[in-house]
Protein backbone atom coordinates (compact mmCIF):
# COMPACT_ATOMS: atom_id res chain seq x y z
CA UNK A 1 0.00 0.00 0.00
CA UNK A 2 1.29 3.47 -0.92
CA UNK A 3 0.02 6.83 0.23
CA UNK A 4 0.06 9.61 -2.34
CA UNK A 5 -1.52 12.97 -1.64
CA UNK A 6 -2.53 16.21 -3.29
CA UNK A 7 -4.04 19.43 -1.98
CA UNK A 8 -7.21 20.12 -3.98
CA UNK A 9 -6.77 23.81 -3.20
CA UNK A 10 -4.00 23.69 -5.84
CA UNK A 11 -4.65 22.34 -9.32
CA UNK A 12 -0.95 21.87 -9.99
CA UNK A 13 -0.87 19.31 -7.17
CA UNK A 14 -3.86 17.54 -8.72
CA UNK A 15 -1.99 17.38 -12.03
CA UNK A 16 1.13 16.04 -10.30
CA UNK A 17 -0.90 13.34 -8.54
CA UNK A 18 -2.52 12.28 -11.80
CA UNK A 19 0.85 12.15 -13.57
CA UNK A 20 2.35 10.01 -10.83
CA UNK A 21 -0.56 7.57 -10.85
CA UNK A 22 -0.47 7.27 -14.64
CA UNK A 23 3.24 6.46 -14.44
CA UNK A 24 2.95 3.92 -11.64
CA UNK A 25 -0.33 2.26 -12.59
CA UNK A 26 -1.14 0.89 -16.03
CA UNK A 27 -4.69 0.11 -14.91
CA UNK A 28 -6.92 1.42 -12.13
CA UNK A 29 -9.81 -0.60 -10.74
CA UNK A 30 -11.65 2.21 -8.96
CA UNK A 31 -11.48 5.91 -8.27
CA UNK A 32 -13.55 7.30 -5.39
CA UNK A 33 -13.85 11.07 -5.37
CA UNK A 34 -14.78 11.61 -1.75
CA UNK A 35 -12.51 14.53 -0.85
CA UNK A 36 -14.73 17.56 -0.33
CA UNK A 37 -15.44 20.45 1.98
CA UNK A 38 -18.43 22.27 3.34
CA UNK A 39 -19.09 25.66 1.82
CA UNK A 40 -16.50 28.24 2.84
CA UNK A 41 -17.90 30.66 5.43
CA UNK A 42 -17.19 33.60 3.13
CA UNK A 43 -16.19 34.29 -0.46
CA UNK A 44 -12.79 32.66 -0.92
CA UNK A 45 -10.73 32.25 -4.08
CA UNK A 46 -7.94 29.77 -4.62
CA UNK A 47 -4.55 30.62 -6.08
CA UNK A 48 -5.90 29.23 -9.35
CA UNK A 49 -8.56 31.92 -9.33
CA UNK A 50 -11.67 29.84 -8.62
CA UNK A 51 -14.20 29.85 -5.82
CA UNK A 52 -12.76 27.55 -3.15
CA UNK A 53 -15.68 25.17 -2.62
CA UNK A 54 -16.31 24.80 -6.35
CA UNK A 55 -12.67 23.96 -7.00
CA UNK A 56 -12.27 21.44 -4.18
CA UNK A 57 -15.62 19.70 -4.66
CA UNK A 58 -15.88 19.76 -8.45
CA UNK A 59 -13.01 21.15 -10.52
CA UNK A 60 -10.24 19.15 -8.82
CA UNK A 61 -12.00 15.75 -8.90
CA UNK A 62 -13.16 16.40 -12.46
CA UNK A 63 -9.60 17.16 -13.53
CA UNK A 64 -8.18 14.13 -11.72
CA UNK A 65 -10.82 11.81 -13.16
CA UNK A 66 -10.32 12.94 -16.73
CA UNK A 67 -6.56 12.48 -16.39
CA UNK A 68 -7.06 8.89 -15.16
CA UNK A 69 -9.97 7.92 -17.40
CA UNK A 70 -7.88 5.77 -19.75
CA UNK A 71 -6.31 3.82 -16.87
CA UNK A 72 -9.79 3.19 -15.43
CA UNK A 73 -11.14 2.09 -18.79
CA UNK A 74 -8.22 -0.31 -19.26
CA UNK A 75 -9.25 -2.12 -16.08
CA UNK A 76 -12.98 -1.78 -16.78
CA UNK A 77 -12.95 0.22 -13.57
CA UNK A 78 -15.44 2.41 -11.79
CA UNK A 79 -15.59 6.06 -10.84
CA UNK A 80 -17.68 6.64 -7.73
CA UNK A 81 -18.32 10.32 -7.08
CA UNK A 82 -19.57 11.14 -3.60
CA UNK A 83 -22.28 13.73 -4.01
CA UNK A 84 -25.15 14.95 -1.84
CA UNK A 85 -28.92 15.08 -1.85
CA UNK A 86 -28.38 18.81 -1.58
CA UNK A 87 -27.36 18.85 -5.26
CA UNK A 88 -31.08 19.04 -6.06
CA UNK A 89 -31.18 22.55 -4.57
CA UNK A 90 -28.15 23.76 -6.54
CA UNK A 91 -27.93 25.98 -9.60
CA UNK A 92 -25.17 26.56 -12.14
CA UNK A 93 -24.85 30.29 -12.84
CA UNK A 94 -22.11 30.54 -15.46
CA UNK A 95 -22.07 34.32 -15.16
CA UNK A 96 -21.34 34.20 -11.43
CA UNK A 97 -19.84 30.87 -10.37
CA UNK A 98 -17.73 32.69 -7.78
CA UNK A 99 -20.85 34.22 -6.26
CA UNK A 100 -19.30 37.67 -6.48
CA UNK A 101 -22.71 39.25 -6.95
CA UNK A 102 -25.81 38.87 -4.87
CA UNK A 103 -26.08 36.88 -1.67
CA UNK A 104 -23.34 34.39 -0.77
CA UNK A 105 -24.12 31.44 1.49
CA UNK A 106 -22.00 28.35 2.23
CA UNK A 107 -25.01 26.11 1.56
CA UNK A 108 -25.56 27.56 -1.92
CA UNK A 109 -21.95 27.11 -3.06
CA UNK A 110 -21.88 23.59 -1.61
CA UNK A 111 -25.08 22.62 -3.44
CA UNK A 112 -23.72 24.14 -6.66
CA UNK A 113 -20.50 22.13 -6.42
CA UNK A 114 -22.33 18.86 -5.79
CA UNK A 115 -24.75 19.52 -8.63
CA UNK A 116 -21.81 20.06 -10.99
CA UNK A 117 -20.17 16.82 -9.80
CA UNK A 118 -23.38 14.85 -10.32
CA UNK A 119 -23.84 16.32 -13.80
CA UNK A 120 -20.24 15.45 -14.65
CA UNK A 121 -20.79 11.87 -13.53
CA UNK A 122 -23.67 11.37 -15.96
CA UNK A 123 -21.69 12.97 -18.79
CA UNK A 124 -18.65 10.79 -18.08
CA UNK A 125 -20.81 7.68 -18.30
CA UNK A 126 -22.14 8.79 -21.69
CA UNK A 127 -19.02 10.24 -23.30
CA UNK A 128 -16.07 8.71 -21.43
CA UNK A 129 -13.88 5.90 -22.77
CA UNK A 130 -15.46 2.50 -23.25
CA UNK A 131 -15.10 0.13 -20.32
CA UNK A 132 -15.33 2.82 -17.66
CA UNK A 133 -18.40 2.95 -15.40
CA UNK A 134 -19.33 6.13 -13.53
CA UNK A 135 -21.90 6.69 -10.81
CA UNK A 136 -22.63 9.20 -8.08
CA UNK A 137 -23.85 8.50 -4.57
CA UNK A 138 -25.18 10.20 -1.49
CA UNK A 139 -23.88 7.49 0.83
CA UNK A 140 -25.51 8.20 4.18
CA UNK A 141 -28.43 9.67 6.04
CA UNK A 142 -26.42 12.81 6.71
CA UNK A 143 -23.99 15.13 4.96
CA UNK A 144 -20.57 13.53 5.43
CA UNK A 145 -18.89 16.81 4.40
CA UNK A 146 -20.92 18.89 6.84
CA UNK A 147 -20.62 17.60 10.40
CA UNK A 148 -22.41 20.71 11.61
CA UNK A 149 -25.60 19.36 9.99
CA UNK A 150 -25.45 16.03 11.81
CA UNK A 151 -27.16 15.42 15.11
CA UNK A 152 -23.77 14.32 16.38
CA UNK A 153 -20.74 15.90 14.74
CA UNK A 154 -18.47 12.94 15.51
CA UNK A 155 -20.91 10.29 14.25
CA UNK A 156 -18.87 7.46 12.69
CA UNK A 157 -18.70 7.15 8.92
CA UNK A 158 -18.75 3.34 8.86
CA UNK A 159 -22.12 3.14 7.09
CA UNK A 160 -21.26 5.56 4.26
CA UNK A 161 -17.89 3.82 3.82
CA UNK A 162 -19.63 0.45 3.49
CA UNK A 163 -22.02 1.86 0.87
CA UNK A 164 -19.12 3.25 -1.19
CA UNK A 165 -17.22 -0.04 -0.95
CA UNK A 166 -20.29 -1.95 -2.13
CA UNK A 167 -20.75 0.30 -5.15
CA UNK A 168 -17.07 -0.05 -6.05
CA UNK A 169 -17.20 -3.84 -6.04
CA UNK A 170 -17.28 -5.29 -9.57
CA UNK A 171 -19.79 -7.92 -8.49
CA UNK A 172 -22.29 -5.18 -7.58
CA UNK A 173 -24.52 -4.46 -10.56
CA UNK A 174 -24.94 -0.71 -11.09
CA UNK A 175 -26.44 1.58 -13.71
CA UNK A 176 -23.77 3.50 -15.59
CA UNK A 177 -24.33 7.20 -14.92
CA UNK A 178 -26.77 6.44 -12.14
CA UNK A 179 -27.36 8.47 -8.99
CA UNK A 180 -27.69 6.47 -5.79
CA UNK A 181 -28.90 7.27 -2.31
CA UNK A 182 -27.23 4.55 -0.33
CA UNK A 183 -27.41 1.57 -2.67
CA UNK A 184 -30.79 2.59 -4.10
CA UNK A 185 -30.93 4.00 -7.63
CA UNK A 186 -32.75 7.35 -7.47
CA UNK A 187 -33.71 10.14 -9.85
CA UNK A 188 -31.25 13.06 -9.65
CA UNK A 189 -32.00 16.74 -10.16
CA UNK A 190 -33.46 17.81 -13.49
CA UNK A 191 -30.22 19.47 -14.66
CA UNK A 192 -28.42 16.13 -14.30
CA UNK A 193 -30.90 14.59 -16.75
CA UNK A 194 -30.64 17.57 -19.12
CA UNK A 195 -28.11 16.70 -21.83
CA UNK A 196 -27.82 20.29 -23.07
CA UNK A 197 -27.11 21.59 -19.59
CA UNK A 198 -24.49 18.91 -19.05
CA UNK A 199 -22.86 19.61 -22.40
CA UNK A 200 -22.60 23.29 -21.49
CA UNK A 201 -20.99 22.46 -18.15
CA UNK A 202 -18.54 20.06 -19.82
CA UNK A 203 -17.54 22.65 -22.42
CA UNK A 204 -17.07 25.35 -19.79
CA UNK A 205 -15.09 23.05 -17.50
CA UNK A 206 -12.76 21.80 -20.21
CA UNK A 207 -12.04 25.28 -21.53
CA UNK A 208 -11.51 26.63 -18.04
CA UNK A 209 -9.13 23.89 -16.96
CA UNK A 210 -7.08 24.08 -20.14
CA UNK A 211 -6.48 27.77 -19.45
CA UNK A 212 -5.85 27.35 -15.70
The catalytic position among 58, 110, 179, 180 is: 110
pLDDT at 152: 46
CA-CA-CA-CA torsion for 73, 25, 59, 180, nearest 10 degrees?
Answer: 50
The yes-or-no answer on residue 58 being catalytic is: no
pTM score:
0.92
What's the whole-number mean pLDDT along residues 6-19? 96
CATH number of 11-211: 3.40.50.720
- What's residue 150's pLDDT? 43
Strand partners of residue 30? 78
Give me the pLDDT at residue 159, please.
84
Q: In what order do the strands lie in the sheet with 30-33?
A: 30-33, 78-82, 133-138, 179-181, 184-186
Neighbours of 51 (CB within 10 A): 25
Residue 144: what pLDDT? 56
Average pLDDT value for the chain: 89
- Helix, strand, coil percentages for the chain (3-state, nearest 5): 45, 10, 40
The pLDDT score that the predictor gives to residue 140 is 78
Least confident piece of the model among 100-114, 148-162, 173-187: 148-162
Kindly report, residue by residue over 118-131, the tens digit of the pLDDT.
999 999 999 999 99
Amino acid sequence: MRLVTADFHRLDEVDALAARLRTELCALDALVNAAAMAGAPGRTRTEDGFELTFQVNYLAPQRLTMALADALAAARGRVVNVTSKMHAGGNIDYSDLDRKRGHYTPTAVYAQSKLALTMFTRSLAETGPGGLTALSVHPGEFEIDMPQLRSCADEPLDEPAAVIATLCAPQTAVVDGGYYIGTDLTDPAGLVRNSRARARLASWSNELLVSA
